[in-house]
Homo-oligomer: A and B are copies of this chain.
Amino acid sequence: MEMQKFKAITDRYDVIFFDAYGVLKNSLGVLDGIERTFAYLIEKNIDYYILTNDASRGPKALAQAYVEQGLEMIDDNKIISSGMLATEYLRLKVRTGTVTYLGTQKSAHYLEELGLHTLSIADLNLADTDAVNALVFLDDEGFDWNHDINKIVNLLRVRNIPCVVANTDKSYPVSDDKVSIAIGGIADMVERITGRMFIKFGKPDAQMFIFAYEHSQRAQEAGKQNILMVGDTLFTDIIGGNKFGIDTALVLTGNTLRSTVEEQIHLTGIVPDFICESAVID
């Protein structure tokens, strides 16, 4: 496929959805010059949202991290995270009682705004679980893996409660050359071991795109033909956007390398509408 200039394709759309990691930022922080992209979109009156598989913090804290790096045009209204979908599920289907979670206190903070009582898995007493109405996988930090993942497996033997995976990613980069296992990878292991079927949120699942779509319509009504998804990963951003019926652009600043992009598209059958070097506009 021919490479396109990102700027040249933006003009066709009213709304652009961006993946975060590998598109707007990498392990060193936001990409050099990415502020020019947002300035251009604002100038052209093209709306934008960040769709991110992340439940480590609420949207306010996620937006704040961009602002601190100079992207003051990103506020919490521009953030669509998989954690927000998990929260919406708990609001609609669990409603009351205690939710036990894997993650940091910071990741659970956002849930408490719903009026749910949250309890870290580290503090759960397996002999006293009657009040626990749901389990949520939020973040890979904030608990002892050995002790607390085993605690979950045993919790599910005595309580048949909904298990919500607030981020389906299996790993994430922590530096230029290292990755960490993400909470989605841990949830996947527990699901296989227990045989239970978990409720999962995150790209490429359609629910993430719908949530963003409905959210975006409040600011500006746009048909699906006028929305573009920009991502660095065929298996989440591109197939998810394609299936939802919007156009997709693959950028080569993250998971997909220029040297193997053609072969990957050929092997997987996941074809973006466009391929661009980067989402940074010169």
Identify the A interface with B (CB < 8 A): 88-89, 92-93, 140, 144-146, 149-150, 153-154, 156-157, 160, 162-163, 170-171, 177-181, 185-186, 188-189, 192-200, 205-207, 210, 224-225, 235, 239, 242-246, 260, 263, 265-271
A194: which B residues are within 8 A, CB to CB? 269
B195-A189 in contact (CB<8A): no
Q: How far is the CB of A160 from chain B (nearest CB, A)?
A: 6
| B contact residues around A205 at 8 Å (CB) | 206
CA distance A193 to B154 in the complex (A): 24
Across the two chains, which residue of chain B brings its CB closest to A126? B178
Q: Is the CB of B179 within 8 A of A188?
A: no
Contact A245 B181 (CB under 8 A): no
Q: Name the distance in Å between A170's Cβ and chain B's nearest Cβ.
A: 5
CB pairs A–B below 8 angstroms (9 shown): A92-B225, A93-B242, A145-B149, A157-B179, A160-B269, A170-B193, A197-B268, A199-B242, A207-B244
Across the interface, A170 reaches (CB within 8 A) one of B177, B188, B192, B244, namely B192
Closest to A247 in B: B93
Interchain CB contact under 8 A, A89 and B245: yes
Residue of A145, A162, A195 contacting most chain B CB atoms (<10 Å): A145
Distance in Å: Cβ of A107 to nearest Cβ of chain B: 16
CB-defined contacts of A153 to chain B, threshold 8 Å = 171, 179-181
Residue among A144, A160, A163, A265 with max Cβ neighbours from chain B (10 Å): A160
The answer to whether A268 and B195 have CB atoms under 8 Å apart is yes
| From B89, B170, B179, B193, contact of A171 by CB (8 A) | B193
Report if A149-B269 is in contact (Cβ < 8 Å); known contacts: A92-B225, A192-B188, A242-B199.
no
Residues of chain B within 8 A of A196, CB atoms compared:
267-269
A89-B243 CB under 8 A given contacts A181-B189, A268-B197? yes
Among B150, B181, B207, contact of A243 (Cβ-Cβ < 8 Å): B207
B197→A92 contact, CB < 8 A: no
Closest to A238 in B: B197
Indicate if the CB atoms of A177 and B193 lie closer than 8 Å. Answer: no
